[in-house]
């Protein structure tokens, strides 16, 4: 029986994870559930899954959570705040941790799980982008295992012998990440300027949280994934390619020196990589419909357009710069995406903000967590400053007002 902590249980990955867990009560148990502010949704999950511990990240909501759990007849431990999150991720109520908090907010609990030697199922890509070497070192020191949940990396993991081998010795020539191209694949640069948050969040193939949906629309998601692949599999940047595959059925590929290309295919449903990671090295039913290739009939592939989608190029630039550049890229992107979702900036301003921050924040070696967190904070300040100060074409007084308030 695996006792599983689902960090970010109220999110899209959290929900899919709990769906797979509920299908196998003889194998899996959700022993810890966490959320940020969605108390009601967390209570509903506790009623269904009866965990040992429920954590709400916002301490102001602990009393409300406690009241509602009592009213719902759920008896479990309750905790709140970020220290409680890291304690839950490393404590003895779980042996497995699904890291599914969105953004840099997931870094410390992911690191805590790794250090404690948990079986770590990594969805929170931002943590490996920010602090790849530190996270991998923590996994090695803790003696646990890391299985990627991100569908592309889970696909590559499945196509490599033993998950994370020495690529050169295994005869790997190239990792090929597939990208759907997002909802605006065919749009011109001019058309991209007027995209609204709701349009950006409507992904053609996947249903996901709002932040990653915007990242998929800008292709920053693929950029973060190139950095994630570099760290996870020890692949140099030159050995990682991105190919646009609009059907999202081939989740990624590994090319070997003999010309063999191994791919992992499946319907675009995160329950497949989640079930793989939960049961690894065994296999369990995920509830995902069988892939009907005859009905699909054809698969297509094309080159990504780095000019219309500069975020992908910016991520590659950060990867080759090394040091804290990826952490700065990630932080700037988080600030810009939030500003876009709040309609304070336009869609194409996201890339401009990230580019400006990469230029503004001095690079250094990320030897310890404190350096990474300082870089994250400096990049956030630079992004907020850039958004507030730059004369964005067509920006209204309302935009400027909101941006200035965010700066205060």
Q: Which does 280 bind (CB under 5 to 8 A by kind): Mg ion, ligand NDP, none?
A: none
Q: Which does 31 bind (CB under 5 to 8 A by kind): ligand NDP, Mg ion, none?
A: none
Asked whether the beta carbons of 140 and 158 are under 8 A apart, the reply is: no
Q: Which is nearer to Mg ion, 126 or 150 (CB)?
A: 150
> Which H helix or E strand runs over 80?
strand 77-80
Q: Which is nearer to ligand NDP, 12 or 31 (CB)?
A: 12
Q: Compute the least distance from the CB of residue 26 to Mg ion, in Å.
A: 30
Q: Compute the least distance from the CB of residue 64 to Mg ion, in Å.
A: 34
Tokens linked to 38: 């969605």
Q: Which is nearer to ligand NDP, 208 or 314 (CB)?
A: 208
Q: Which is nearer to ligand NDP, 231 or 399 (CB)?
A: 231
Q: Which does 61 bind (CB under 5 to 8 A by kind): Mg ion, ligand NDP, none?
A: none
Q: Compute the least distance from the CB of residue 101 to ligand NDP, in Å.
A: 4
Q: Which does 102 bind (CB under 5 to 8 A by kind): ligand NDP, Mg ion, none?
A: ligand NDP
Q: Which does 192 bind (CB under 5 to 8 A by kind): ligand NDP, Mg ion, none?
A: none
Q: Which does 204 bind (CB under 5 to 8 A by kind): ligand NDP, Mg ion, none?
A: none
Cβ-proximal residue to Mg ion, closest one: 150
Strands (E), 216-326: 240-244, 250-256, 261-265
Q: Which is nearer to Mg ion, 31 or 218 (CB)?
A: 218
223: nearest Cα among 95, 355, 107, 97? 355
Q: Compute the least distance from the CB of residue 62 to ligand NDP, in Å.
A: 13
Asked whether the beta carbons of 330 and 104 are under 8 A apart, the reply is: yes
Tokens linked to 94: 């779980």
Asked whether the beta carbons of 306 and 219 are under 8 A apart, the reply is: no
Q: Which is nearer to Mg ion, 213 or 348 (CB)?
A: 213
Q: Compute the least distance from the CB of residue 92 to ligand NDP, in Å.
A: 21
Asked whether the beta carbons of 128 and 232 are under 8 A apart, the reply is: yes
The 28-35 sheet, strands edge to edge: 77-80, 53-56, 28-35, 2-7, 96-99, 119-122, 146-148
Q: Compute the least distance from the CB of residue 405 to Mg ion, in Å.
A: 33
Asked whether the beta carbons of 315 and 220 are under 8 A apart, the reply is: yes
Q: Which does 334 bind (CB under 5 to 8 A by kind): ligand NDP, Mg ion, none?
A: none
> Which H helix or E strand runs over 148?
strand 146-148
The helix-helix angle for 125-142 and 107-115 (nearest 10°) equals 20
Q: Compute the least distance from the CB of residue 260 to ligand NDP, in Å.
A: 27
Q: Which does 287 bind (CB under 5 to 8 A by kind): ligand NDP, Mg ion, none?
A: none
Coil, strand or helix at 312: helix
Q: Which does 35 bind (CB under 5 to 8 A by kind): ligand NDP, Mg ion, none?
A: ligand NDP
Q: Which is nearer to ligand NDP, 8 or 304 (CB)?
A: 8
297 vs 253: CA distance, rounded Å: 20
Which residues make up the interface to ligand NDP (CB under 6 A)? 8-14, 35-38, 57, 100-102, 105, 123-126, 150, 206, 208-209, 211-212, 270
Q: What angle do CA 12, 341, 222 make, to 5 degrees?
A: 60
Q: What are phi and psi of 105, to 5 degrees?
A: -60, -20
Q: Which is nearer to Mg ion, 151 or 333 (CB)?
A: 151
Q: Compute the least distance from the CB of residue 44 to ligand NDP, in Å.
A: 12
Residue-by-residue DSSP string for 186-230: T--HHHHTT--HHHHT--SS----HHHHHHHHHTHHHHHHHHHHH
Q: Compute the least distance from the CB of residue 145 to ligand NDP, in Å.
A: 18
In the chain, DSSP finds a helix count (H) and a strand count (E) of 18, 11
Asked whether the beta carbons of 176 and 235 are under 8 A apart, the reply is: no
Asked whether the beta carbons of 324 and 363 are under 8 A apart, the reply is: yes
Cβ-proximal residue to ligand NDP, closest one: 11
Which residues make up the interface to Mg ion (CB under 5 A)? 150-152
Q: What is the CA radius of gyration of the chain?
A: 21
Q: Which is nearer to Mg ion, 206 or 256 (CB)?
A: 206
Cis bond before residue 281 (omega within 30° of 0):
yes
Q: Which does 316 bind (CB under 5 to 8 A by kind): ligand NDP, Mg ion, none?
A: none
Q: Which is nearer to ligand NDP, 331 or 392 (CB)?
A: 331
Q: Compute the least distance from the CB of residue 216 to Mg ion, in Å.
A: 8
């Amino acid at each position: 029986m695996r006792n599983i902590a689902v960090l970010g249980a109220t999110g899209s990955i959290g929900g899919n994870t709990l769906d797979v867990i509920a299908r196998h009560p003889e194998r899996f148990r959700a022993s810890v559930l966490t959320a940020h502010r969605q108390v009601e949704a967390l209570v509903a999950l506790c009623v269904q899954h009866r965990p040992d511990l429920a954590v709400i990240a916002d301490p102001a909501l602990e009393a409300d959570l406690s009241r509602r759990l009592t009213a719902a007849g759920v008896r479990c431990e309750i905790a709140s705040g970020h220290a409680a999150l890291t304690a839950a991720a490393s404590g003895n109520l779980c042996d497995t941790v699904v890291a599914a908090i969105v953004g840099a907010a997931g870094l410390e609990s992911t690191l805590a799980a790794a250090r404690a030697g948990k079986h770590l199922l990594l969805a929170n890509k931002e943590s490996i982008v920010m602090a790849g070497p530190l996270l991998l070192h923590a996994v090695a020191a803790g003696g646990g295992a890391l299985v990627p949940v991100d569908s592309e990396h889970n696909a590559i993991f499945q196509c490599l012998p033993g998950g994370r081998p020495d690529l050169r010795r295994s005869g790997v020539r190239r990792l090929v990440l597939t990208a759907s191209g997002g909802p605006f694949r065919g749009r011109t640069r001019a058309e991209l300027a007027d995209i609204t948050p709701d349009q950006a969040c409507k992904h053609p193939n996947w249903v996901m949280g709002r932040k990653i949906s915007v990242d998929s629309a800008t292709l920053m998601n693929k950029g973060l994934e190139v950095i994630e692949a570099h760290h996870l599999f020890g692949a140099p940047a030159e050995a990682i390619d991105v190919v646009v595959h609009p059907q999202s059925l081939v989740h990624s590929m590994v090319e070997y020196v003999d010309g063999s290309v191994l791919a992992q295919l499946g319907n675009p449903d995160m329950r497949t990589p989640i079930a793989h990671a939960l049961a690894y090295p065994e296999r369990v039913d995920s509830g995902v419909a069988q892939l009907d290739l005859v009905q699909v009939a054809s698969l297509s592939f094309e080159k990504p357009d780095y000019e219309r989608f500069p975020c992908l190029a910016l991520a590659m630039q950060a990867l080759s710069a090394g040091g804290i550049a990826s952490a700065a890229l990630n932080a700037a992107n988080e600030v810009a995406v939030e500003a876009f979702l709040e309609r304070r900036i336009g869609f194409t301003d996201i890339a401009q903000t990230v580019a400006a921050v990469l230029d503004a924040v001095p690079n250094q070696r990320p030897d310890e967590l404190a350096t990474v967190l300082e870089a994250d904070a400096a990049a956030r300040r630079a992004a907020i400053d850039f958004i507030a100060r730059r004369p964005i074409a067509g920006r209204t007084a309302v935009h400027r007002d909101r941006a200035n308030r965010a700066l205060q």
